Amino acid sequence: MKKTLAALICASTLMGGAMADEIVRTPAPGNFPISTVVEVPSTAKTYYLSGVVPAKQEDGTFGNTEAQTVSVLKGIEAQLKAKGLEMSDIVKMQAFLVATPETGKMDFDGFMKGYNQYFGTEAQPNTPARSTFEIKALYLPEWFVEIEVIAVK
C-alpha cells in the first residue's frame, strides 16, 4: 500500500511538472497573428538571435518589403534549424521596418504578407509576442526589413 501511494505521488508530481513546463501563448484579439503574452517555463532553454537582414534575390536586388520579409524569415529559419529549432519555437520578435522610397512610410501590409506565410497558419499556428517599429534606416539603403527573435525549447 505504501509503495503504491508513493508511486502515485511520484507520478502526480512528474505529471504536474510536465504540465507546468508548457509554453503558453495568449492570442491577440480579432485573430491578429501575434500573441499578446507568451509564458515560458524556467526549464526552457532560451536562444537569442541577432538581427537578420535580407539576402539579394536572383535579380540582384533585395526586393520589396514582402520579399525582404520572406528572405529574412528564411534566414531565421535556417539559423534555428542549425540549432535543432523550428519557427514554432519563436516566442518573441522585434521587426524593424524602413520607409520605402515610394510611400515615405513603412510598408506594414507588405511585411504582414511575408510574416503570414510563417506564423498563424494551419501548418504552424504558434505566434510570437511581437513589436514592429518604423526606423530611419538600416546599414544598406536598399534594406527595408531587419528582424530579431528569441526562441525557446
Give the Cα separation of 85 and 44 in Å (integer).
13
Radius of gyration for the alpha carbons in the chain, expressed in angstroms and rounded: 20
Q: How many other β-carbons are positioned within 10 Å of the β-carbon of residue 139?
A: 8
Which pLDDT belongs to residue 81?
A: 98
Q: Give yes or no for residue 148 having a pLDDT over 90.
A: yes
**pTM of this structure:** 0.84
Average pLDDT, the chain: 90
Q: What is the pLDDT of residue 21?
A: 77
Q: What was the pLDDT predicted at 56?
A: 97
Q: Report which residue type is found at 99.
A: A
Considering the chain, what percentage of its residues have pLDDT values greater than 90?
A: 86
Residue 8: pLDDT above 60? no
Q: What is the pLDDT of residues 17-61, one digit of tens each?
A: 444 579 999 999 998 999 999 999 999 999 999 999 999 999 999
pLDDT tens digit sequence for 117-146: 999 999 999 999 999 999 999 999 999 999
Mapping DSSP onto H, E and C, the string for the chain reads: CHHHHHHHHHHHHHHHHHHHCCCEEEECHHHCCCEEEEECCCCCCEEEEEEECCCCCCCCCCCCHHHHHHHHHHHHHHHHHHCCCCHHHEEEEEEEEECCCCCCCCCHHHHHHHHCCCCCCCCCCCCCEEEEEEECCCCCCCCCEEEEEEEEC
C-alpha–C-alpha distance, residues 148 and 102, integer Å:
25
Label residue 16 by pLDDT band (50, 70, 90).
very low
pLDDT band at 5 (very low <50, low <70, confident <90, very high): very low
